[in-house]
Chain A
Amino acid sequence: MIYSYFPGCTLKNKAIDLDIYARRSAELLGITLEELPEWQCCGGVYPLAKDKIATKLSSVRALAASRDAGHDLVTLCSACHNVLKQVNNDMRTDEYIRSRANNYMAPDAEYNGEINVIHYLELLRDTVGFENIKKKVVKPFTGRKIGAYYGCLLLRPGKVMQMDDPENPKILEDFIRAIGGEPVIYAQRNECCGGYATVEDKAYAASRAGKVVDNAAACGADMLITACPLCLYNLNKSNAENKLPVVYFTELLAEALGLKEENDV
């Protein structure tokens, strides 16, 4: 099965782990990810102002390119996924934004939200199936207590993202079970890590992320997994005594599938 793939800027440098393990695992699971040619930044943050069209255009370009390639678009970074999915929803449902964006870009074929934006986790759940992943696991994380950290962007707004219940999510927990681990449910798993506040007020971001790590540790987690480079950055920053290791979920996937080597990355 072939999908277009949008890695996003961070996955080309700081979050390269998130990217390479995802690609490697996808290959084994029979999924072909074709990186969009000449993709640009997703826009970084979804603009809430309705008249902000220009900042949505880079997302629209990626979406249109995916449509032209004839595949649905797979994303990995929570932030990119959030922006692309919300912009795609706008292009599908909001006549005002659709016509302004198309007028602005004047593409050969207007983009009207024809493709679906799918997160890599949804691909694992809905296309591959966690049951099938379980069968391919060679190094299960048996006995490991793993906390899923969703952050805020992956699930919200729930009506648009439609990945899982924003307050009672279970997709990452199901993933943890699939790779043989034991999911730890803790309340702060879908709270904000501090996000971009870290640029302006490091102490604030650290206190937010600290709450997440403390709560997960108190509930007995050995490690945390996430899909978001910014979450990983913030959680690690506040995690000075290295209470809990925080890794990308794709790294565990690759390891469980026997695709991680000693001298990797």
Chain B
Amino acid sequence: MQRIGVFVCHCGSNIAATVDVKAVAEAAKHESGVVFSADYQYMCSESGQDLIKDMIKEHKLTGIVVCSCSPRMHENTFCKAAAAGGLNPYMVEIANIREQCSWIHKDMPSATAKAIVLVRSAIAKVTLNAPLTAGTSPVTKRALVIGGGIAGIQTALDIADAGFEVDIVEKEPTIGGKMAQIDKTFPTLDCAACILTPKMVEAAQNDKIRIFSYSEVSAVKGFVGNFTVTIKRKARYVKEDLCTGCGLCTEKCPQKKVPNEFNLGLDNRRAIYIPFAQAIPKIATIDPDYCTMLKSGKCGVCSKVCSAGAIDYQAKDEFIDVNYGAIVAATGFNPIKVDKYDEFAYAQSPDVVTSLEYERLMNAAGPTGGTLLRPSDRTHPHTIVFVQCVGSRESEDSTKCGKSYCSKICCMYTAKHAMLTREKYPDTDVYVFYIDVRTPGKSFDEFYRRAVEQYGVHYIKGMVGKVTPEGGKLKVQASDLIAGKQLHIDADMVVLAAAIEPDKTARPLATLLTASMDTNDFFTEAHPKLRPVESPTAGVFLSGACQGPKDIPETVAQAGAAASKVIGLLAKDHLVCNPCVANANEMLCSGCSQCEKVCPYGAITYSYKEFRMPDRTTKLRLVASVNAAVCQGCGACTVTCPSGAMDLKGFSNKQIMAEVDAICK
């Protein structure tokens, strides 16, 4: 017979204000098997945990029920306390009477009644619990970072610095990401390339770091500490070990009309190209969509001029399998497409640009060599209108599929653009239309005020309603909400601060990693406050803007935090496995193999086994067996099994049914 203790938490007033905790503790006393029941203000506090330890010893408890918050919050805390009191940690059950009870009910009698039912169900389950012992599994001491922007680079550098091997997989031909395209960084206005490229070089030269550029993750198997990742190395038609990056091929290639994505299509590149001068690795890549040789078999100029003999038109995509202990997602962001915002005439006039395009137009390495020129006629613009929040903070009524969130970085980079424009070209009139100016951050608000007060940027609260290209000008119609009037400005350029969204590769990657995402396709953190750089999926960590909009300092901080979590994991030789795994009852198993098909981890195998029959003959039968080291205890097999042969330790069918019975009683 079990000896069960019940501990009811007040959680300050979180629970106690809506649930009569004394009544719950009293009701629990009368349940069969319960030998101790009490309430306490904060069960998770040190004295609360001590109470658990003391009562386990005093009442010789064999199982405990803690009625408190969600098990996602504190199950671990209470399991540890129980273990310290000498109880098997798997003899602990949590009755969630906060998130699923007190927080969602208003009146005390019904909330209390529900809490009592939840406690009863937990007692029914713990009565059937059996002590479980966790095994261990070894840790592969190598980390994978997916994405080679500033987030991925920083994470990789920090992991390598601690002495662990780390690989960066980057889908583009070079690492560097968005930061490589930026001209200056706020609020200090130091040159982005000057602070980024040394880090890129450092990553390339670090012997603990391998860079797989122009590569993608195509499959992920395994679990925390033991991932096997298939990396697709896309054919770049240039042998990486032979190319010296001299760039001769990129000058001789006759296909000159390829939109240059690094400059956002503001100029053209060749079909064989190196994205930018400081690219890492500095290796040419052939764009198969434009290369005449690959498309029609006629050309071969690059092959002729390459003295290193690095060109290989026969190259094929390669797939390699690598083992990792931890995976970091650092897939970053992209500005949204502004096609849906035709009121700003982006599609109608080349002089309407996005902020990232403006960044390239200001950049010394950009298509205009750093001289600000209008794309349409390459003249100097005298009036520039910046529009903030294009696609951000959009209301639900909108038909434009914009983002409901604030993209966070736009206020600051727009202030930067406005300031730099006024600094370089004082004869330019600069207007910024805003809904709110949001500049929290170290030296951020001072920066914005400098734009207004010292640089004379016209900040106008209101939105632009229409941009009409006419007669070489952009006629901007806008509202000034403070003056309460309509404004008409004849502008030479309009710059749209487009909302940012997660990179398109993030969603399929999340599926591969079984990592969760929010409705906006940002990766979800394990806990928004307490575990901000970990995914709820064990062994998967988050770095940079793939988790939410971030500026560079925040990204670097998060990248370092993710690295420290990875280091903490890789520093262990073994990980404790979850003992709540599936096991097959061979006597009931009919060998149908349905469980094998649904197992997402490949933990179930089928083999023939000899069975003794009642008539003393033997029979060969196909039965399932579970690899406990691979099983993650998801339970998919237990609900699939038609003969009820699969069961999950700690969550057996019998235990679940006992819980349901207790609720329905």
Contacts and interface: CB of A to CB of B under 8 A. Distances in A.
Nearest to A214: B470
A215 B468 contact: yes
Contact of B468 (A159, A166, A167, A211): A211
A185 B348 contact: yes
Interface string B399-412: 11000000000000
A214 B471 CA distance: 10
Interface in A230-265: none
Contacts of B342: 165, 167-168
Contacts of B398: 158-159
A188 interface: yes
B471 A218 contact: yes
A211 B397 CA distance: 28
Given A187-B467, A188-B468, A218-B471, A165 B348 contact: no
A142 B520 CA distance: 46
B397 A167 contact: no
B221 interface: no
Interface string A140-160: 000000000000000001110
**In which size bucket is the chain B interface?**
10 to 19
B343 interface: yes
A187 B399 contact: no
Given A159-B399, A165-B399, A166-B399, A187 B339 contact: no
B176 interface: no
Contacts of B400: 165, 167
B345 interface: yes
Contacts of A188: 466, 468
A17 interface: no
Contacts of A191: 466
A82 to B, nearest CB: 15
A187 B340 contact: no
B471 A187 contact: no
Given A187-B468, A187-B469, A167 B341 contact: yes
B343 A167 contact: yes
Interface of B: prevailing SS: loop
A167 B466 CA distance: 10
B562 to A, nearest CB: 39
Contacts of A211: 468
Interface residues of A, number: 16
A158 B398 CA distance: 8
A218 B349 CA distance: 14
A222 to B, nearest CB: 18
Interface in B446-484: 466-471
A167 to B, nearest CB: 4
A188 B469 CA distance: 9
Contacts of A159: 397-399
B592 to A, nearest CB: 49
A157 B397 contact: yes
Nearest to A211: B468
Interface in B386-423: 397-400
B348 A187 contact: yes
Most chain-A Cβ atoms within 10 A of its Cβ — which of B341, B343, B468? B468
B98 to A, nearest CB: 34
Contacts of B345: 187
Interface in A114-158: 157-158
A165 to B, nearest CB: 7
Nearest to A162: B399
Contact of B399 (A158, A185, A186): A158
Contacts of B341: 167
Interface in B466-508: 466-471
B51 to A, nearest CB: 52
Most chain-B Cβ atoms within 10 A of its Cβ — which of A158, A167, A187? A187
A257 B397 CA distance: 39
B351 to A, nearest CB: 13
Interface string B315-355: 00000000000000000000000011111010110000000
A159 B395 CA distance: 12
Nearest to A157: B397
Interface string A186-222: 1110010000000000000000000100110010000
B349 to A, nearest CB: 9
A166 B340 CA distance: 9
Contacts of B466: 187-188, 191
A259 B468 CA distance: 37
Contacts of B468: 186-188, 211, 215
A159 B401 CA distance: 11
A198 B200 CA distance: 64
A158 B340 CA distance: 13
Contacts of A168: 339-340, 342, 347
Interface in B172-203: none
B469 to A, nearest CB: 6
Contacts of A167: 340-343, 400
A218 B466 CA distance: 17
Interface string B256-289: 0000000000000000000000000000000000
A187 B465 CA distance: 11
B397 A218 contact: no
Nearest to B466: A191
A157 to B, nearest CB: 7
Interface in B115-162: none
A185 B347 CA distance: 10
Contacts of A157: 397
Given A159-B398, A165-B400, 20 more contacts: A157-B397, A158-B398, A158-B399, A159-B399, A165-B340, A166-B399, A167-B342, A168-B339, A168-B340, A168-B342, A185-B348, A186-B468, A187-B348, A187-B468, A187-B470, A188-B466, A188-B468, A191-B466, A214-B470, A218-B471
12 contacts: A157-B397, A159-B398, A165-B400, A167-B341, A168-B340, A186-B468, A187-B466, A187-B470, A214-B470, A215-B468, A218-B470, A218-B471
